[in-house]
Amino acid sequence: MSSLFPMFMKLEGKQCLVVGAGKVGEPKIGGLIETGARIRVIAIKASETVREWANAGKIELELRPFTGDDLGGMFLLIVATASRVLNETIYREAQRRGVLCNVVDDPPHCDFFYPAVVRRGDLQIAISTAGQSPSLAQKLRRQLEQQFVPGYAEWVAELGETRRLVLASDLNRERKLELLHSLANQEALKAALEDSAQNGRKVNA
């Protein structure tokens, strides 16, 4: 197998289709909602949570069998039905139409994989084993969650605001780069995390 190309993709406004809305499809739909994608869900049955998302206008839900025409205009496809035969049939149709497809828990029928992700605000760390061992990916995620504590979220947001100010300044390019690198060093991180922890204690007091 050739190497995977790691990237973070913008899905806001993109047409995405999920086939299947049970316990396997539900978390995939939930993850797509967070991206701002335009989500269409086709399923024979849907979980209560998926129905609630549809009633709230977060997704478009159609309770019926999948047809090949459902792939028209789609950018990305997630397949999460209980039928392996149906999943493979949908995958082949997606390949024919050039639609990126992930058949959940079936690596040979995936154009991309869901990584295990550590999220700290705008900081995201993704771990993938290319479908070889999701258990290992989850174990590494838990280890990284301990290393990258919640305070990173606030620090990254502050770095972004400071970066915009530095780039908009009249300083020369070399000085800007010097400042940006100094802001992201260990000492700055330690100070920011200590300040975040102190603020958290004050709020809880």
Segment-wise mean pLDDT, segments of 10 residues, the chain, 205 residues: 85 97 96 96 97 98 97 97 96 97 94 90 91 90 92 90 92 92 80 67 45
Half-sphere exposure in the Cβ direction for 173 (13 Å, CA): 0
What DSSP assignment string belongs to the chain?
-PPP-------TT-EEEEEEESTTHHHHHHHHHTTT-EEEEEEEEE-HHHHHHHHTTSSEEEES---GGGGTT-SEEEE--S-HHHHHHHHHHHHHHT-EEEETT-GGGBSS-PPEEEEETTEEEEE--TTS-HHHHHHHHHHHHHHS-THHHHHHHHHHHHHHHHHTSS--HHHHHHHHHHHTSHHHHHHHHHHHHHHHHHHH-
Per-residue confidence (pLDDT) for residue 2, from 0 to 100: 76
Per-residue confidence (pLDDT) for residue 200, from 0 to 100: 57
My answer on whether 89 and 79 are in the same domain is yes
Per-residue confidence (pLDDT) for residue 194, from 0 to 100: 75
My answer on whether 19 and 78 are in the same domain is yes
My answer on whether 85 and 136 are in the same domain is no
Query: Considering the domain boundaries, does residue 2 fall inside one?
Result: no
The rounded distance, in Å, linking the Cα atoms of 16 and 38 is 6
Query: Considering the domain boundaries, does residue 205 fall inside one?
Result: no
153 in Cβ contact with 122 (< 8 Å)? yes
Q: Give the CATH number, domain containing residue 122.
A: 3.30.160
The rounded distance, in Å, linking the Cα atoms of 36 and 50 is 16
Of the candidates 151, 146, 145, the residue with the CA atom closest to the CA atom of residue 189: 151
Per-residue confidence (pLDDT) for residue 193, from 0 to 100: 74
Query: Considering the domain boundaries, does residue 6 fall inside one?
Result: no
My answer on whether 166 and 91 are in the same domain is no
Quote the distance between the C-alpha of residue 148 and its chain's center: 18
Residue finishing a domain among 52, 86, 113: 113
My answer on whether 84 and 142 are in the same domain is no
My answer on whether 137 and 68 are in the same domain is no
Q: Give the CATH number, domain containing residue 28.
A: 3.40.50.720
Query: Considering the domain boundaries, does residue 8 fall inside one?
Result: no
Q: What's the total number of domains in the chain? A: 3
My answer on whether 41 and 130 are in the same domain is no
Phi first, then psi, for residue 153 (nearest 5°) are: -60, -50
- Rg from Cα positions in the chain: 21
My answer on whether 97 and 19 are in the same domain is yes
My answer on whether 193 and 131 are in the same domain is no
My answer on whether 127 and 97 are in the same domain is no
Strands 38-46 and 15-21: parallel
- The answer to whether the pTM exceeds 0.85 is no
My answer on whether 90 and 19 are in the same domain is yes
My answer on whether 43 and 107 are in the same domain is yes
Q: Which domain holds residue 100?
A: 15-113
63 in Cβ contact with 44 (< 8 Å)? yes
What is the token pair recorded at 134?
């999701």
Residue finishing a domain among 93, 113, 133: 113
